[in-house]
A and B are shown apart, each in its own frame.
Chain A
Amino acid sequence: MNDLIERAIDAATGSGAAYADVRIVEHQAEALTVKNGSLAAANSERSAGFGVRVLVDGAWGFASSQDLDLDEAQRVARLAVAIARASRLAGGPPVVLDDTPPAAGHWGTPYVEDPFAVSLEEKLRILFEADAAMARAGGITLREATMEADRDRKLFGSSEGARLEQDLVSCGAGIVATAVNDNETQERSYPKSIGGQVVGGGFEAIRDMDLPGHGQRIAEEAVALLDAPQCPSGEMTVILEASQVAIQVHESCGHPTELDRALGMEASFAGTSFLTVDRLDRFRYGSDIVNIDADATAAGGLGTFGWDDEGVAAQNVPLVSGGQFVGYLTSRETAPVINRRSMGSSRAASWRNLPLIRMTNVSLRPGAAGSLDDLIADTDEGILLGTNRSWSIDERRLNFQFGTQVGWLIRKGKLAEMVRNPTYTGITPRFWGSCDAICSADAWTQWGEPYCGKGEPMQTASVGHGAAPARFRKVQVGVGQW
């Protein structure tokens, strides 16, 4: 494989590229779904190929192929150069990369139990036990238990001399119970919704989830939601459970701190950002207790790696510090615009894709509010919102609206009745400015979000978000006509 990298780089530079990098990726994936007591899907995928990225006269070109052959490497490299030359037809100022020194080495995701070495029988045993646990509740229309595992073996080389090998492993699982009647569809999920919880690590994480141990509870809650009162509308104090804080961070901090968005490079598709470059180090994003960082070194993170797909070493950088906006997610092309070196967040979803700025593990640091129970006890009146159900935010990442699977009203520091179809809405910096309590480190979880879409053609990235439950004041709850 190293021969292929050398051949492609030689072909690219020999054809006029001032810079070239080559990524070879072997991808392996497995996905299982048990639905209503049957194995509804069992899938095993493998894909391999390489991509060549070049800079010619300051313009980018990229080409990829599944054919891991030396002659093909040469053809694809020359095609990338031809594409870069076409880019000059509408070129602007030449692209200048930062001065990140080329690295060499090997990195692998730490794990105890290789998820691909665990037998299919064992995986199905867990899923069928979880399904049976949900079935015990009665009244459930749909039961679904899912499990997945992914492995990317990556080789990276650049014309600057970088030579890197990585073995990235992730796996996850989740269950969801759906209750349906004539007017309602209500879901409860565990550990979180939208694909469950996925971690960078081994099968031990799935065993620790104890899916069967939570099946009956979530199923009973889904059934109870059918007859629960509609979530009230109004301005109130909101406590978000940790997984909902994670998705809130993803949409309202992770995406707007992507420097390519802020520079308009995603303007026609995903959108731009209210966190414009002139606001760096000068803008109050949240309250004093809000600290958010991007940590590609976090244990178990779905956005954890050794180097990004430009060969920049993983690192932990602050994005919001004491409520102030202080940092961006960057790449080697964009970082010089703010006079910094890349912090290493440029990643591609596949060998066939260009690397883009993607979140690593963008996490809200824990506060000092104790446990979730402590936070509820400290709240006279409000609502606890748990497990994401819907999400939407404007293209500048200001106006958001989220729905959660469940809400519980809080009265005099105690949970009161359950309510259905809760939603809440706000404006990002005002919302984070209203954050007055964040639970402590013991309540903090490193969540995984495996379906983050961005770019054209769209790439789906795996990213992480550490979060603990947090409290927000004067939030608009119960949006729309029900």
Chain B
Amino acid sequence: MVGRDVAAAALGRLERGYEGEASVIQRHAALTRFAGSRIHQNLAEEDATLRVRIRHHGRTGVAVTNRLSPAGLEEVVARAALIAAHAASEADPPPLAEPPGESVDSDLGWIEATAAADPGARAAGARTVIDAGVARGLTASGAFSTEAQQRTVVNTGGLVASHRVTQAKLVTVMHGPAGETGYAQSISTDLSTIDAQAVGEEAAERTARAADPTDLAPGEYPVVLGEYAVAEILEYLAFMAFSGLAIEEGRACVELGQPAFGSNVTIWDDGQDPAGIPSAIDFEGVTKQRVDLISHGVARATVHDGATAHRAGVPRTGHGLPAPNTFGPLCWNLFMAPGETPRSSLAQGVERGLLVTRFHYVNVVHPKKGILTGMTRDGTFLIENGTVAGPVRNLRFTQSIPDAFSNISAIAAESRLVGADYTGIVSRVPAVRIDAWNFTGATANEADV
């Protein structure tokens, strides 16, 4: 059965007087992983999951299954009903998403060739990256993944919405003989646009420049953050600044209507833009809206799911996560406006600072102040008198992001699509120059430990 048939069949089992929402996620994913310049893990997985949220007299229950037989549908609806029967009644529960004028059936970002990718194509891409490293005496690690996903949501209010999308992603970290490393990534809906040779060359070139790092004393430095690093910061802003729930609960690091960052910073979320990895509907079946989050430095809006929109008395924006969700809404199609400085000129004017390729293991130290900590990784370089002088050992930062994004002195004219490693948030971002970034520690020279 296709997703909407499964969802409709599940809702057809509801007793009279119940309302409900059924969502089906069908996913085919494959990943070829390599390390030490050889493929060491290679897999394919298929699954389809049905999630049923039902409500009766204000009592809500959610149940999930991947047993999609008639008996499985019967069982999952019964389980959700059992939970609802025991749940406390909410006086003013959020309504189900209203159906748009006509049902949504989107394939924005669906590329048949990506969906049909075979293990040989991924292995060949891995081999290309490996060869690029070997040619420079480097070992390559990484992963080449392809995925096809269809999300379908049906509710008893008449909503029927589905979206299918594909994604291909190639990442690599290369290691030099002395432990130096360099990173590169490419992500697209279209497998044919993943240039494995370019990914390999980018990482290899970065690794070659990273050999023999020197120690740099922690302190405050100007930085040029490459796109991978900027995307990681935006990933955390999605949680700390752009969530309607974070604003509602008073724990966000921005205040709506107030300047949050410098006037040169504009950030929005747009699941309909094919320049990202599109996501036409959310997990409640709501068509995603473009949300202008930061306009010229001012916090203009947040994203909402059904619950936060209902409490705030505003329309949903199409950013709901799978039910039941206490986490709040999330934006996962972020864009940051490019500037006018050529990327290659960002370091100009930096007397003594750092070029950061990417961060590692970033975490929130203080959500309200927007303070993050994390390490640099896979290509950290000293800038002296406007040019890259050489590699430095990785550094730890502890930095307020509102402070940093209020000190962006240049934004690259070019942007790049970057997929987050942990959350799957995809951002199209430029590289930036920030006048002050607080490095609070450095990793050890391993010979000294």
**Are A and B physically bound partners?**
yes
CB distance from B67 to the nearest CB of A (A): 7
Per-residue interface assignment for chain A, residues 258 to 287, with 1 indicating a CB less than 8 Å from any chain B CB and 0 otherwise: 000001111111010010000000000000
Interface residues of chain A, those whose CB is within 8 Å of chain B, are 33, 35, 38-49, 51, 59-66, 79, 82-87, 89-93, 120-121, 124, 141-142, 144, 178, 180, 183-185, 263-269, 271, 274, 352-354, 389-396, 398-399, 401, 403, 421, 423, 425, 427-430, 453, 456-458, 476, 479-482
> A250: shortest Cβ distance to chain B, in Å?
13
Given A265-B36, A268-B173, A480-B365: A394 and B375 interface contact (C-beta under 8 Å)? yes
Given contacts A64-B44, A141-B249, A274-B446, contact A421 B366 (CB under 8 A): yes
Which stretch, B9-17, B344-352, B437-445, touches the partner chain A?
A: B437-445
CB-nearest residue of chain A to B60? A42
| Bound complex: CA A33 to CA B327 (Å) | 11
The answer to whether B143 touches A268 (Cβ under 8 A) is yes
Q: Which residues of B contact A60 (CB under 8 A)?
A: 39-42
CA distance A123 to B156 in the complex (A): 30
Given contacts A265-B40, A457-B29, contact A427 B398 (CB under 8 A): no
List chain B residues, Cβ under 8 A from A453: 422
Beta-carbon contact of A35 and B326 below 8 Å = yes
Residue of A nearest to B171 (CB): A268
**CB-based contact A62/B43 at 8 Å:** yes
Do A86 and B120 touch across chains, with their CB atoms under 8 A apart? yes
- CB atoms of B44 and A83 under 8 A apart: yes
Separation of A398 and B446 alpha carbons in the complex (Å): 9
Q: Which residue of A lies closest to B322 (CB)?
A: A43
With A185-B368, A429-B449, A458-B422 known as contacts, the answer to whether A44 contacts B249 (CB < 8 A) is no
- Would A266 and B35 be within 8 Å (CB), given that A64-B46, A396-B446 are in contact? yes
Contact with A along B247-284 (1 / 0, CB 8 A): 00111000000000000000000000000000000000
Q: Does B102 contact A (CB under 8 A)?
A: no
A-B contact pairs, 21 of them (CB 8 A): A33-B326, A41-B323, A42-B61, A46-B64, A51-B45, A61-B119, A63-B44, A82-B119, A86-B42, A86-B119, A90-B34, A92-B40, A121-B86, A180-B250, A265-B40, A390-B363, A390-B365, A390-B373, A392-B375, A428-B449, A430-B444
Given contacts A43-B64, A264-B141, contact A427 B396 (CB under 8 A): no
Whether B88 contacts A38 by the Cβ 8 Å rule is: yes
Asked if B173 and A456 sit within 8 Å, CB to CB, the answer is no
The verdict on A90 contacting B38 (CB below 8 Å), with A66-B47, A398-B443 known, is yes
Measured in the bound complex, the distance between the Cα atoms of B38 and A265 in whole Å is 10
**A-facing mask of B79-91, CB < 8 A → 1, else 0?**
1101110111010
Q: Is B106 an interface residue (CB 8 A)?
A: no
- Asked whether B325 is an interface residue with its Cβ less than 8 Å from the other chain, the reply is yes
- Which of B121-129, B334-342, B407-415 contacts the other chain? B121-129
For the complex with contacts A264-B36, A480-B371, 18 further pairs of A-B residues with Cβ separation under 8 Å are A48-B67, A51-B45, A61-B42, A61-B43, A83-B43, A87-B42, A89-B39, A121-B86, A180-B250, A268-B33, A268-B142, A268-B171, A391-B361, A393-B361, A394-B360, A427-B449, A476-B441, A480-B438
Q: Are A180 and B249 in contact (CB under 8 A)?
A: yes
Q: B85-126, CB under 8 A of A: which get 1 and which 0?
A: 011101000000000000000000000000000111011101
A-B pairs with lowest CB-CB distance, top 8? A92-B38, A41-B324, A480-B398, A86-B119, A267-B141, A89-B123, A268-B141, A62-B43
Given contacts A44-B63, A184-B368, A394-B377, contact A89 B37 (CB under 8 A): no
Q: Is B386 an interface residue (CB 8 A)?
A: no
CA distance A178 to B251 in the complex (A): 10
B325 near A425 (CB under 8 angstroms)? no
Could you say which of B31, B38, B396 contacts A394, with CB atoms under 8 Å apart? B396
Cβ of A395: which chain B residues have Cβ within 8 Å of it? 360-361, 375, 377, 394
Q: Is there contact, CB below 8 Å, between B63 and A403?
A: no
Given contacts A60-B40, A268-B173, are A43 and B63 in contact (CB under 8 A)?
A: yes
Q: Which residue of A82, A90, A430 has the most chain B CB atoms within 10 A of its CB atom? A: A90
CB of B398 within 8 A of CB of A46, answer no
Q: Is the CB–CB distance between B145 and A120 below 8 Å?
A: no
